[in-house]
Each structure stands twice: as structure tokens, then as C-alpha cells.
Amino acid sequence: MDSFELAVGDALTMPVPRAAFFDELLVALREIWEVPVVAQAPQSAGHGHWVRAGSVAAATAGAVGAGAAWYGFKRRHRRSGVA
């Protein structure tokens, strides 16, 4: 890479994630890995209907909806006033 390209790369390295974000997300990921959160079937669930079920195997088999996990993280994030 020439100096111009290095300057572009360096400029893009400016942002770093907040330490608190690193910690909170890691803890949330650990919780999800241990007790995955899965969404109920659409026909039986309204908004906010989530069940905690399954296992790591279920999670890694794709049973966990990333959207559901994300929903739970956002909710906690907002409650803690960090977002």
C-alpha cells in the first residue's frame, strides 16, 4: 500500500469501542450461549413473547433467533441507560 492508502487505513482505525460496550456485550453473549432465548411460533406469539429454552447445542444448531437475542440485549441495554 502507498502512503495515501495507509492514510486512509489509519483514518478508519480512529474509533474504538467503549470498554463498557465490550464488557456488556460479552456478558450478554455468555448468557445467550448458556440459556438461549428463542421466539415462539409467530401464530401463537404476540410482541414480547419470548421463551427461554434449549441449550448450547440448540443455539449453535441455529435454533436461537438472533433477532430474539438482540431484542433481549437491547431491552437490558436501554434499562441500564447505556445505549
Partner 1 sequence: MRADAILADMIDMTADLDDETLAARVAGDFDAFAELYRRYLCPVYRFVRSQCPDEPTAEDITAQVFFKAISSASSFRGEGSYKAWIFRIAHNSVWSWRNGRARSVIAVEEVPETVDPTPSPAAQAITKEGRGQVWRKVAELPPAQREVVALRYLQDLTVEEIAEITDRSRGAVRILLHRARSKLRSTMDGKEVG
**Which residues make up the interface to partner 1 (CB under 8 A)?**
1, 4-18, 21-30, 32-34, 36, 56-57, 59-62, 64-66, 69-70, 73-74, 83
Task: Give whichever of 14 and 41 is closer to partner 1, judged by the CB atom.
Answer: 14
Distance CA 3, CA 39 (A): 50
Query: Rounded to the nearest whole angstrom, what is the least distance from the CB of residue 53 to partner 1 in the complex?
Result: 14
Burial class (CB in 10 A: 0-12, 13-18, 19+), 36: buried
Q: How far is the CB of 74 from partner 1 (least distance, A)?
A: 8
Of 77, 15, 45, which Cα lies nearest the Cα of 69?
Answer: 77
